[in-house]
Amino acid sequence: MMLTAEQARELALRAVGLTHADGAEALVTSEDAALTRFADNRIHQNVAESDTGISVRAVVGKCMGVASTNRLDDTSLAACCERAVAAARLAPEDPDFPGLPSPMEVVTPDRVHPSVRAFDASARAEAAAAIIAQSALRDLTAAGTVSATEYTVAVANSLGVNVGMGVSTVRSTVLSMSANGGSGWASHLSGAAGDFSPTALGDEAALLALRSDGAVSLDPGVYTVVLAPEAVSDILDFLGYLGLGAKPYAEESSFLSGKIGQKLLSPLISITDDATSAETLGLTFDFEGMPKQRTPLIDAGVGRSPVTDSYWAAKLGLPNTGHALPAPNPYGPMPMNLEIAAGDARIEDMIGAVKRGVYVTRFHYVNVEDPVRAILTGMTRDGTFLIEDGRLAQPVKNLRFTQSAVDALNAVEAVGKKRTLIGPEDGGANLAPALLLSNWEFTGQTR
């Protein structure tokens, strides 16, 4: 049974009290998650889980140890706290460790909607059936997910940090496929079940699948591209992971390193991390219990300071922006709620402005070839079209790109006015618009 925010805070405080060290921090996560999966126009997997876990960070001098468990009886909890202390006593000192953070005021909006709890297996099955129907009536097959998740996170430490909040999400993805290789994609992410229209989502994917039927070959090369929000979100994720956190910045493996205040991207691009926005989802505090600050990272193309946590803020002499991941954290602080500022273009206008180019619905299996220049490679999928004379022409077979994200975002011709919320299974979410980019290098094509 999932804990309420209050119950989670109590459990965290109890663990802090059981951790006999110079300092202690406890992170409680409790989740009820359910996901209905469909393929070939029928539900083939349908799962639910309930779990509550606690992670304890013990501090002895400048040494730390972490232990976690999902066994919450008194004996197991005490043993977990003792393991954390034992590890801290044996761990070598980290001279840069600034100590646990002191409490700061955190605003925790109500991000749990009762409709999500009511979105049970029957309701999810009906939603899946409604999505499937849109493909089936067009002789297409649908695959995808309908999920409902509610989670609670609480953090307490021995200096008085004591925060907790719940978040609920409804997420759905739809891939519609034709027998001739056409495929279309649509996705939904929101905090309430009432915002979700399965029929509309199924219709969107099915129409795109029909339109992408009969794809033709296209020679690799440099093209003007219109990236739909889903594709933009993928690039934004990698930019955040590779370059917008304090750790790669300090280690000179980020495109931001040594270039704060310089123009790095197009003046049309402003990137902010803002977990407090009413338009996004997720926690408003980080995994140290610090408030997530609205953090401008790229301001009209000019690089700003990276996101930090207590460790990296102290080490670099920067403010703590509240972007800690759970300890121990080899990645450093990470932006989880990135957004690109909306522009003024409609996607139709972007396509209309292209003489010859490529429209990309989304990418697949993107990976890093060069972290500093953020050179990425990946494939297009589920709706790739040649643009000719300002309109979507024939669909093209999926293309491989090998492209620096930094260079691409330095060649922006237009930014969409409408932004879409796109996110992973849980955690944060990006607000991404469509982008018109003048240079994007496709280096191969699939069969």
Partner 1 sequence: MRELIDRALQAASAAGASYADVRVVHTTQENLSARNGVVEGVSTSESLGIGVRAIASGSWGFAATSSLESDAVVDVARQAVAIAKASALTTRTPVELSALPAYNDSWEGPCRIDPFTVSLDEKLDLLLAADAALRAEPAVKIAKGALGFIRVEKTFGSTIGSFIEQKYTESAAGITAYAIEDGEILPRSYPNSHGGQAVQGGWEAILALDLPGNAVRVAEQAAGLISAAPCPSGTKTIVIDGPQLALQVHESIGHPTELDRVLGDEAAFAGTSFLTLEDLGVLQYGSEHVTVTSDATIPGSLGSFGYDDEGVPAQRDFIVKDGLFTGFLSSRESAVRIGRESNGCMRADGWNRTPLVRMTTLSLEPGGWSLPDLIADTEDGIYMETNNSWSIDDRRLNFQFACEIGWEIKNGELGKMIKNPNYTGITPQFWNSCDAVCSADHWQVWGIPNCGKGEPMQVAHVAHGAAPARFRDVQVGVGR
Considering beta carbons, is residue 317 or 367 the nearer one to partner 1?
Answer: 367
Q: Which of residues 47-106 bind partner 1 (CB under 8 A)?
A: 47-53, 55, 64-71, 80, 83-84, 87-88, 90-92, 94-96
Query: From the CB of residue 391, how many other CB atoms can be counted at a distance below 10 Å?
Result: 13
* Residue 368 engages partner 1 in binding (rule: CB under 8 A): yes
Please measure the distance between the N-terminal and C-terminal CA atoms of the chain and give it in whole angstroms.
Answer: 49
Show the site string, 200-239: x = touches partner 1 by CB under 8 A, - = not: ----------------------------------------
Residues 92 and 94: their CA atoms lie apart, in Å, by 7
Residues 107 and 383: their CA atoms lie apart, in Å, by 41
Q: Which of residues 311-330 bind partner 1 (CB under 8 A)?
A: 327-330
In order, the DSSP letters of 320-337 are --S-PPSSS-TT-----S
* Residue 373 engages partner 1 in binding (rule: CB under 8 A): yes
Dihedral in degrees, nearest 10, Cα atoms 240, 243, 245, 251: 160
Considering beta carbons, is residue 136 or 341 the nearer one to partner 1?
Answer: 136
Residue 333 near residue 314 (C-beta atoms within 8 A):
no
Backbone angles phi, psi at 235, to 5 degrees: -65, -40
Residues 61 and 206: their CA atoms lie apart, in Å, by 60
Q: Which of residues 389-418 bind partner 1 (CB under 8 A)?
A: 398, 400, 402-403
* Residue 144 engages partner 1 in binding (rule: CB under 8 A): yes
Helix, coil or strand: residue 67: strand
Helices 121-136 and 198-211 sit at what angle, rounded to 10 degrees?
30
Options 253, 276, 277, 438; binder of partner 1; rule CB under 8 A: 253
Considering beta carbons, is residue 10 or 82 the nearer one to partner 1?
Answer: 82
Considering beta carbons, is residue 236 or 345 the nearer one to partner 1?
Answer: 236
Helix, coil or strand: residue 227: strand
Considering beta carbons, is residue 273 or 382 the nearer one to partner 1?
Answer: 382
Q: Which of residues 122-141 bind partner 1 (CB under 8 A)?
A: 122, 124-126, 128-129, 132, 141
Considering beta carbons, is residue 20 or 418 the nearer one to partner 1?
Answer: 20
* Residue 377 engages partner 1 in binding (rule: CB under 8 A): yes
Q: Which of residues 160-199 bind partner 1 (CB under 8 A)?
A: 173-175, 177
Considering beta carbons, is residue 96 or 388 the nearer one to partner 1?
Answer: 96
- Closest-CA residue to 288 (of 166, 107, 161, 111): 161
Contact region with partner 1 (CB under 8 A), list: 14-22, 195-203, 313-321, 438-446: 438-446
Residue 260 near residue 295 (C-beta atoms within 8 A):
no
Q: Which of residues 29-48 bind partner 1 (CB under 8 A)?
A: 33-48
